[in-house]
Amino acid sequence: MDAAAKKDRLSDLRRWFPDLRVGFNNLMVHRLRSLLTMLGMIFGVAAVVSMLSIGAGARQSAMALIEQLGVNNLIVEARETLEWQAHQKIRRISPGLTFQDYRVICDNLSQVTASTPRKRFTPTKVLPKPQQDVPVVYGVNPSYLAIAGLRVVDGRFFDASEEDRAAPVCVLGAGARSGLFGAADPVGQYVKVDEQWFHVIGVAAPQLSSQTEVAGLPSQDLNNVIYVPLNSAILRLENTYSEFRDEIDGIYLNLRQNADIVNVARIVRAILDASHHGASDFSVIVPSELLAQQQKTERLFNTVMVAIASISLLVGGIGIMNIMLASILERTREIGVRRAVGARQSDIIRQFVVEAVMISFVGGTFGIVLGFGMSRLIAWLAGWSTVVTFTSIALAFLVSISVGLIFGTYPALKAARLDPVEAIRYE
Neighbours of 226 (CB within 10 A): 25
pLDDT at 198 over 90: yes
Give percent of the chain with pLDDT exceeding 90.
19
Helix runs in 152-229, H state only? 160-164, 174-181
Q: Are 272 and 298 within one domain?
A: no
Do the domain assignments include residue 46? yes
Helix runs in 331-344, H state only? 332-340
Q: Which of 240, 257, 280 corresponds to the end of one domain?
A: 280
pLDDT at 335 over 90: no
Q: Are 237 and 89 within one domain?
A: yes
When comparing pLDDT for 29 and 146, which is higher?
A: 146
From 100-104, 285-289, 355-359, the region with the lowest mean pLDDT:
285-289
pLDDT at 84 over 80: no
Task: Provide the pLDDT for residue 365.
Answer: 86
Banded model confidence at residue 159, pLDDT cuts 50, 70, 90: very high
Banded model confidence at residue 54, pLDDT cuts 50, 70, 90: confident
Q: Are 207 and 173 within one domain?
A: yes
Tell me what the pLDDT averaged over the chain comes to: 80
When comparing pLDDT for 418 and 368, which is higher?
A: 368
Q: Are 273 and 139 within one domain?
A: yes
pLDDT at 317 over 90: no
Q: Are 231 and 131 within one domain?
A: yes
Tell me the residue range of the domain where 406 lies: 18-65+293-425
* Cβ atoms of 126 and 193 closer than 8 Å: yes
Task: Provide the pLDDT for residue 388.
Answer: 80
When comparing pLDDT for 203 and 310, which is higher?
A: 203
Do the domain assignments include residue 374? yes
Do the domain assignments include residue 7? no
* Cβ atoms of 51 and 383 closer than 8 Å: no
Q: Are 96 and 161 within one domain?
A: yes
Q: Are 59 and 158 within one domain?
A: no
pLDDT digits (tens, 9 = 90+) for 213-226: 555 566 677 889 99
When comparing pLDDT for 11 and 408, which is higher?
A: 408
When comparing pLDDT for 89 and 15, which is higher?
A: 89
Classify the C-alpha dihedral 311-36-366-54 as positive or negative.
negative
pLDDT at 407 over 60: yes
Neighbours of 211 (CB within 10 A): 10
pLDDT at 419 over 80: no
Do the domain assignments include residue 287? no
When comparing pLDDT for 305 and 6, which is higher?
A: 305
Task: Provide the pLDDT for residue 203.
Answer: 94
Task: Provide the pLDDT for residue 283.
Answer: 86
Banded model confidence at residue 201, pLDDT cuts 50, 70, 90: very high
> Nearest-CA neighbor of 286 among 307, 324, 255?
255
When comparing pLDDT for 293 and 190, which is higher?
A: 190
Of the ranges 3-7, 295-299, 396-400, which is most confident?
396-400
From 60-64, 222-226, 391-395, the region with the lowest mean pLDDT:
60-64
Span 415-424, mean pLDDT?
Answer: 71
> Nearest-CA neighbor of 139 among 284, 236, 253, 51?
236
Q: Are 325 and 382 within one domain?
A: yes
pLDDT at 177 over 90: yes
pLDDT digits (tens, 9 = 90+) for 359-386: 888 888 888 888 888 888 888 887 677 7
Do the domain assignments include residue 286? no
Give Cα separations from 366 to 45, 48, 49, 53, 56 (angstroms). Answer: 8, 13, 12, 17, 21
Do the domain assignments include residue 72? no
Cβ burial 253-282 (10 Å sphere, 16+ → b, else e): bbbeeebebeebbebbeebbeebbeebebb
Span 280-308, mean pLDDT?
Answer: 75
Banded model confidence at residue 354, pLDDT cuts 50, 70, 90: confident
- The total number of structural domains in the chain stands at 2
Task: Provide the pLDDT for residue 413.
Answer: 81
Do the domain assignments include residue 3? no
Do the domain assignments include residue 1? no
Span 222-245, mean pLDDT?
Answer: 80
pLDDT at 1 over 60: no
Task: Provide the pLDDT for residue 157.
Answer: 95
Q: Which helix (H) or strand (E) segment is 154 a member of?
A: strand 152-155
pLDDT at 243 over 80: no
Task: Provide the pLDDT for residue 371.
Answer: 86
Q: Are 387 and 338 within one domain?
A: yes
Give Cα separations from 23 to 143, 235, 286 (angstroms). Answer: 69, 82, 58
Q: Are 310 and 404 within one domain?
A: yes
Q: Which of 280, 302, 332 corresponds to the end of one domain?
A: 280
Task: Provide the pLDDT for residue 410.
Answer: 79
pLDDT at 229 over 90: yes
Q: Are 220 and 310 within one domain?
A: no
From 151-165, 173-187, 363-377, the region with the lowest mean pLDDT:
363-377
pLDDT at 6 over 60: no
Banded model confidence at residue 186, pLDDT cuts 50, 70, 90: very high
pLDDT at 212 over 70: no
Q: Which of 280, 301, 330 corresponds to the end of one domain?
A: 280
Q: Are 132 and 270 within one domain?
A: yes
* Cβ atoms of 89 and 83 closer than 8 Å: no
Task: Provide the pLDDT for residue 153.
Answer: 93
d(CA 328, CA 324): 6
